[in-house]
Structure 1
Amino acid sequence: MINLSKKRPIVRSFEPIALVGGGEIGPDDLEVMLIRANTVVAADGGAAPLVESGRLPDAVIGDFDSLDSRHKDQIPVDRLYPIREQNSTDFDKALRSIDAPVVLGAGFLGGRLDHQLAVLNTLVQRQDRPCVLLGDTEVVFHAPPQISLCITPGDVVSFFPFQRVTGTSRGLEWPIDDLVMEPGGQVGTSNRALADVELAVDAPGLLVMVPRYALDQVMQAFLSGQTGRWPARAE
């Protein structure tokens, strides 16, 4: 559902929403997204690959500095939602304007490192907007209060803190129990699954990276409502 009120999200759904960015998109990323979400939003230049694929976005959100007229002119005007301020990225503008149980994003990882860092920072800032980002071989998401996933033993499960956080785990080769992770301090990359992985954290701020095949499990965990959900940060 598209909402025209400026005080409410632009796009709202009780089902997953796909979000496409203008960065690197894998050969099957759009297909992966479109079979999992009926509503598709583009973050500015992310509209271009959608238009070229034959799927018009249901909404385009951003400052429109990277969407060329060739693609823009093919999109109905009532689907264009410009947000002109320059204090945030197009990913942030789009994510904060979507209300859904989970957002599935592509076109935000790969390419320039500064862009990727800004995207990952937004995942933490918008802690009340569950979002799973597709990478070439893995997916990344902001850890909810708790989550359980079936990961093949031996496969990598990584954690990276953007804020100070502690937690507990089961099914990891190196449990995170009583471990304080924080920027500039202890991180949790290159851990490995021993069995089904269970994670609980005491606060927002931890990014989780798991193999790409676990995408549906991650999405289902958010859709189930059993993960819990962080409140929006005060602004």
Structure 2
Amino acid sequence: MTEIPENHCIVYDCAPVLLVGGGEISAKSLELLAVFPGKFVAADGGVAHILDANHQPEAVIGDFDSLTPDLLSALPSECLHRISEQDSTDFEKAISRIDAPLILAVGFTGGRLDHELAVLHGMLAFPERVCILIGAEDILFLAPPHIDLDLPAGTRFSVMPLALVIAESEGLRWPLGGHEYAPGFRIGTSNEVQPGEGEVAVSLDVDRPTMLVILPNEHLDRVTSSLLRVSSHGVRWPARAK
């Protein structure tokens, strides 16, 4: 086990990676843990969930304050990547060191509210990492500059700005209209896909990486496919200047 320098990438893949935190694991997350075909990465104590699902982590990244001696002894030293600085969370330490077209993140919701808010901060801090946060009922991701989704008519579709952003949409019951959105000013929760029958083509355009999209988690496969297209076409956000 060695100390990892700042901004040193640890995990590389051309396929999606599953990032596992130490929080509550929903039924949807358990299902994903059981069948996920790619690499597993643990944010600190999230490695316990990976081992419980009979998988081995590609890497364990964090400050290791949640790792028991038993867990440490069960893991090969080459997969342990300790980052001791305390200016970032374990989620940030992990997500910033994964280079993949898409990161699926489980075990980061359903517990302490301050932890959940810190995860949203981490997504905002590293917009170049395309990530879907998976909870018990919903999935959440940072909107890329443009995304197209085919969704069943009437599907709940919420957007929540983390900072000032201009957003336009097609296919929603209440179009976003090119207006400015910001916390304490205007949000877009509890919208929905246009009512009717069958599927509706929905598109979303935003001018900066500060808008969250929240959908029922039954649409994970659709969102995964759409975000992989975003990554493959090179229209993801650039890294923020640090």
Scaled to the shorter chain, the TM-score interval is: over 0.9
- The answer as to whether partners of 1:221 and 1:227 remain within 8 angstroms in 2 is no
- 1: CA distance between counterparts of 2:239 and 2:154? 35
Does 2:195 match 1:196?
no
Q: Which residue of 1 is the match for residue 12 of structure 2?
A: 12
Kindly tell me: are residues 33 and 150 of structure 1, through their superposed partners in 2, closer, same or farther at Cα, counting changes over 3 Å?
Answer: farther
Q: 1:214 aligns with which of 204, 219, 230?
A: 219
- The answer as to whether partners of 2:173 and 2:193 remain within 8 angstroms in 1 is yes
Superposed CA RMSD in Å reads 1.6
Which moved further from structure 2: 113-122 or 48-57?
48-57
Kindly tell me: are residues 21 and 66 of structure 1, through their superposed partners in 2, closer, same or farther at Cα, counting changes over 3 Å?
Answer: same
Q: Which residue of 2 is the match for residue 232 of structure 1?
A: 239
Aligned length: 232
State the Cα deviation string for residues 32-63 of structure 1 (Å, max 9, x = none): 14534411100000001111222121100000
Query: With structure 2 as the length reference, what TM-score do the two structures score?
Result: 0.91
Which moved further from structure 2: 103-112 or 178-187?
178-187
- 2: CA distance between counterparts of 1:7 and 1:96? 7
- 1: CA distance between counterparts of 2:87 and 2:233? 34
Q: Report the CA distance between 1:31 and its aligned residue.
A: 3.2
Q: Which amino acid aligns with 2:75?
A: I
1:136 counterpart SS class: coil
2:209 counterpart SS class: coil
State the Cα deviation string for residues 173-220 of structure 1 (Å, max 9, x = none): 111122210122101100010122111111110000012122112111
- The answer as to whether partners of 2:33 and 2:50 remain within 8 angstroms in 1 is no
- What residue ranges of structure 1 are gaps of 5+ in the alignment? none
Q: Which amino acid aligns with 1:231?
A: P
Q: Which residue of 1 is the match for residue 39 of structure 2?
A: 39
- What residue ranges of structure 2 are gaps of 5+ in the alignment? 195-199
- 2: CA distance between counterparts of 1:184 and 1:167? 16
Kindly tell me: are residues 6 and 92 of structure 1, through their superposed partners in 2, closer, same or farther at Cα, counting changes over 3 Å?
Answer: closer
